[in-house]
């Protein structure tokens, strides 16, 4: 009754192709953005913003990156953490690089630093993506693990990356744009939100362009795709590049905004798997799915550790950790059985049902 397309006619292909063709969707997105940009900073508590919203946004960004590579282009990657690490360390190096030109001495502006770190990650991504031309499927997945472990080792081994810091712990630089320092959680949140919204939009544009179609074609039937003219090399490498860019930026944001330090441990193989879960549970081949998946994976441990005490169930701390593992594993299997195409698919099925509500069909 409320969610209908009846009466909304599209009189041009342009209107038909819009990201949100249905008016109700546009209103929904508008409200969401309003809540995100205005509501949350004003009313959200510090814990909520720092421990939930900020990591949620950054991980969603990484999930978008992985989604592009695995969900849209069909190249299974287990090296997401590694590419995030590249972004984080590249950002650190750029941020601590004092450029001296004549009398002018300064550092690269923050936004540029972060974008540049994404570019560096993209280049590394292309390098490790080259094997994808010969290697497919799970062989490729294992090859991406090579990237993960190698990158981890390089970043730890060579002191140049940490500017030869003796303690090995590097604090992230101040977040400053044009003199304005982002220090409070709400400020950091707005900064993160802006990055993520802009990049998510960019991702959405890309996947509905001919480049996105190329990725999906290679994913669905790479031989047929090549026969009708898609160049496998360019298509696959562009997927690796764009995906790594997103992961690199996410890594930089994770280090600079969320952690406040730049450390390789945050980007280990557990991170890679965690992001892969987000993509699968959220829905492969869906930008929105990345957000849903990130929310799910992020909130689950919090939920699991807070609920038992709430219902008066007192188990030892150790036990809780073990049970979390068990429940996490069981839930993953549950979701895969119930909806292998992820929560995003459940969401769109829900919307379809909503279209005919209150009628059954």
Partner 1 sequence: MEDLWFELLFFLEVLFSGLLTGSLYSLVALGFVLIFKASGVFNFAQGAMMLFAALSLVGFQEMLGVHWTVAFLLAFAVMIVLAWCVEKFVLGKLVNQEPIILFMATIGITFFLDGFGQTVWGSDIKVLDIGLPTGSFDMGGIFIDKLELVAGATAAGLVFVLAVFFNKTKIGRALRAVADDHQAAMSVGISLRYIWIVVWSVAGLVGLVAGIMWGSKLGVQFSLSLIALKALPVLMLGGFTSIPGAIIGGLIIGSGEKLAEIYIGPFVGGAIENWFAYMLALVFLLFRPQGLFGEKIIERV
Partner 2 sequence: MEEQNRQIGDVLLAVEDISLSFGAVRAISDVSFNIKKGEIRAIIGPNGAGKTSMLNCINGFYHPQQGTISYKGITRNQMKPYEAAAQGIGRTFQNVALFKGMSTLDNIMTGRNLKMKSSLLSSVIWWGAAQKEELEHRRFVEDIIDFLEIEAIRKTPVGRLPYGLQKRVELGRALAAEPELLLLDEPMAGMNLEEKEDMCRFILDVNDEFGTTICLIEHDMGVVMDISDRVMVLDYGGKIADGTPEEVRADQNVIDAYLGGGH
Residues that bind partner 2 (CB under 8 A): 13-14, 17, 202, 205-206, 209-211, 213-214, 216-217, 219-221, 223-232, 238, 242, 285
Residue 313, token pair as written in the block: 């169930």
Residue 309, token pair as written in the block: 């005490």
Nearest-angstrom CA–CA distance, 59 and 196: 10
Q: How far is the CB of 27 from partner 2 (least distance, A)?
A: 21
Does 83 participate in binding partner 1 (rule CB under 8 A)? no
Q: Which stretch binds partner 1 (CB under 8 A): 17-25, 95-103, 248-256, 326-334?
A: 326-334
Q: How far is the CB of 9 from partner 1 (least distance, A)?
A: 38
| CA-wise closest residue to 92 among 248, 229, 246 | 248
Q: How far is the CB of 274 from partner 1 (least distance, A)?
A: 11
Does 152 participate in binding partner 1 (rule CB under 8 A)? yes
- For residue 78, give the 3-state DSSP assignment: coil
Q: How far is the CB of 179 from partner 1 (least distance, A)?
A: 42
- CB atoms < 10 A from the CB of 105, how many? 9
Does 332 participate in binding partner 1 (rule CB under 8 A)? yes
- For residue 259, give the 3-state DSSP assignment: helix
Q: CB neighbours of 309 closer than 8 A, spacing ≥ 6? A: none
Q: How far is the CB of 334 from partner 1 (least distance, A)?
A: 8
Does 139 participate in binding partner 1 (rule CB under 8 A)? yes
Choose between 74 and 81: whose C-beta lies nearer to partner 2.
Answer: 74
| Residues numbered 263-292 forming contacts with partner 1, rule: CB under 8 A | 269, 273, 276-277, 280
Nearest-angstrom CA–CA distance, 37 and 58: 15
Residue 76, token pair as written in the block: 């299974």
Does 224 participate in binding partner 1 (rule CB under 8 A)? yes
Binding-site partner at residue 126 among partner 2, partner 1, none, CB < 5 to 8 Å by type:
none
Apex 79 CA angle, 287 and 204, nearest 5: 15
Q: How far is the CB of 13 from partner 2 (least distance, A)?
A: 5
Cis peptide bond N-terminal to 139, omega within 30: no
Helices 110-129 and 80-95, axial angle in degrees (round to 10): 140
Residue 352, token pair as written in the block: 């379809």
Q: How far is the CB of 252 from partner 1 (least distance, A)?
A: 23
The single residue listed with the structure tokens 């205005």 is 38
| Residues numbered 157-176 forming contacts with partner 1, rule: CB under 8 A | 157
Does 324 participate in binding partner 1 (rule CB under 8 A)? yes
Choose between 41 and 268: whose C-beta lies nearer to partner 1.
Answer: 268
Does 76 participate in binding partner 1 (rule CB under 8 A)? yes
Q: CB neighbours of 311 closer than 8 A, spacing ≥ 6? A: none
Choose between 15 and 46: whose C-beta lies nearer to partner 2.
Answer: 15
> Phi first, then psi: what are they for 162, rounded to 5°?
-100, 20
CA–CA distance from 259 to each of 64, 84, 171, 246, 328 (Å)?
20, 13, 9, 18, 24
Does 319 participate in binding partner 1 (rule CB under 8 A)? yes
Q: How far is the CB of 89 from partner 2 (least distance, A)?
A: 25
Q: Give the footprint of partner 1 on this chain (CB under 8 A).
A: 70, 76, 131, 134-139, 141-143, 145-146, 149-150, 152-153, 157, 223-224, 227, 269, 273, 276-277, 280, 318-319, 321-333, 336-337, 340
């Amino acid at each position: 009754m409320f969610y209908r397309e009846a009466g909304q006619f599209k009189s041009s292909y342009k209107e038909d192709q819009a990201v949100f063709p249905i008016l109700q969707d546009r209103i929904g997105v508008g409200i969401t953005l309003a809540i995100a940009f205005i509501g949350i900073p004003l009313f959200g508590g510090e814990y909520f913003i720092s421990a939930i919203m900020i990591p949620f946004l950054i991980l969603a960004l990484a999930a978008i990156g992985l989604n592009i590579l695995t969900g849209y282009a069909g190249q299974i990657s287990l090296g997401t953490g590694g590419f995030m690490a590249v972004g984080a360390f590249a950002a650190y190096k750029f941020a601590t690089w004092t450029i001296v030109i004549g009398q002018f001495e300064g550092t690269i502006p923050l936004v540029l630093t972060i974008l540049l770190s994404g570019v560096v990650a993209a280049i590394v991504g292309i390098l490790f993506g080259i094997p994808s031309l010969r290697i497919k499927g799970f062989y490729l997945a294992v090859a991406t693990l090579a990237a993960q472990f190698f990158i981890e080792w390089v970043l730890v081994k060579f002191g140049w990356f940490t500017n030869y810091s003796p303690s090995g712990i590097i604090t992230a630089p101040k977040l400053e744009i044009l003199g304005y320092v982002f220090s409070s959680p709400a400020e950091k949140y707005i900064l993160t939100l802006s990055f993520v919204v802009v990049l998510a939009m960019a991702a959405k544009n890309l996947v509905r362009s001919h480049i996105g179609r190329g990725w999906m074609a290679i994913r669905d039937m790479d031989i047929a795709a090549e026969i009708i003219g898609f160049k496998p090399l360019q298509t696959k490498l562009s997927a690796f590049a764009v995906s790594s860019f997103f992961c690199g930026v996410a890594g930089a944001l994770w280090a600079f905004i969320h952690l406040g330090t730049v450390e390789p441990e945050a980007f280990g193989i557990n991170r890679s798997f965690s992001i892969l879960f987000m993509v699968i549970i959220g829905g492969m081949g869906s930008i929105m799915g990345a957000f849903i998946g990130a929310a799910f994976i992020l909130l689950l441990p919090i939920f699991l550790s807070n609920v038992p005490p709430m219902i008066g169930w007192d188990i030892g701390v150790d036990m809780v950790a073990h049970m979390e593992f068990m429940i996490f594993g069981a839930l993953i299997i549950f979701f895969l059985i119930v909806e292998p195409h992820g929560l995003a698919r459940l969401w769109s099925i829900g919307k379809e049902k909503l279209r005919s509500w209150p009628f059954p069909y």
